[in-house]
Amino acid sequence: MDYSFLAEAQTINNDTLASLMHDYGNDVWNYVYFLTRNTEQADDLSQEVFVRAYTGIATYRGDCSIKTWLLTITRNTTFTYRKSRFFRNSLWGETLSLESGQDQSGSRQMMRERSAHPSAEMEVIRKAHVHEIWDIVLALPEKFREILLLHLRYELTTVEIADMLRISQGTVKSRLSRAKVKVRKQWEERSE
């Protein structure tokens, strides 16, 4: 659906909101999950993102894509939540379970890939490799993880990422390059 009309909108109707949720719901949920590593928080915060988009549509000026705007709302909503006392109190239990390897299933859900119709064996191998690579990405420092996710998963341009994160394009390019080198090095070490 073409959402260019939203740049002039002061309000949106329920059908438009439903279309936004249909078109970008998985992107928003995956991004929240990436930032929180918690499926329940991803569910709750994803809903909050669309509530904020619905109530704040008048702030959308159309100077970026609707996806970039929604991902910016997602990031800001998640960071606001992370600063809250509730998140800080619940973080320790979640962090410990992830570090000890007791709950890796959530990261397995991160990539909801679509494919043509490969053989079952090839699909299992491909998914195993994708999961291993995303495990490496998720282990990177946050400034590298986030850049890689926005670039690879959401296909945002350097300019869009720089605007969204409020950093220079040079910083985006540098972090992206360094992140790719780190992932490639760790992948090669695992493959040996």
- Non-local (6+) Cβ contacts of 78 within 8 A are 31, 32, 35, 36, 45
Put simply, whether the predicted model's pTM sits higher than 0.95 gets the answer no
d(CA 165, CA 34): 16
Average pLDDT, the chain: 78
Check residue 112 and give its pLDDT.
Answer: 38
* First vs last C-alpha separation in the chain: 46
Q: Which residue has the higher pLDDT, 84 or 115?
A: 84
